[in-house]
Amino acid sequence: MRAALVRLGDEEWVFFNPEIIARSEELEVEWEGCLSLPGVEAEVPRAKEVVVRALDEAGAPVELHLSELEARILQHEVDHLDGELYVDLLPKDERRRVLAEFRAACAQREKRASSLE
């Protein structure tokens, strides 16, 4: 069983075994971050619209058409379920930059934490 939780404003959806069955050819490039790599962001291209098939909280099949931010969030979460992070979608040089920035941020946090001891 795979589960994705999507929150947007006051709305919250839980998808079980989500599968993106269609993606628009039109892409949007927006800044994206992730709790797995705190403190860093990159511009990530994603499909502007997706159709997702999943089970809802009651186990009933659902098929939803999502666009823009909702589509981006769902794609991000499904990537996690597939073992990928947003940096895996970036060109090699941009991925290196983001990961170097993340390592530097981690080093800064460790330095601050050790100064508190």
User: Is there a catalytic annotation at residue 77?
Assistant: yes
- The torsion region of residue 75 among left (phi > 0), alpha (psi -120 to 50) and beta comes to alpha
Please tell me which residue in 28, 49, 77, 94 is annotated as part of the active site: 77
Q: Which residues form the catalytic set?
A: 77
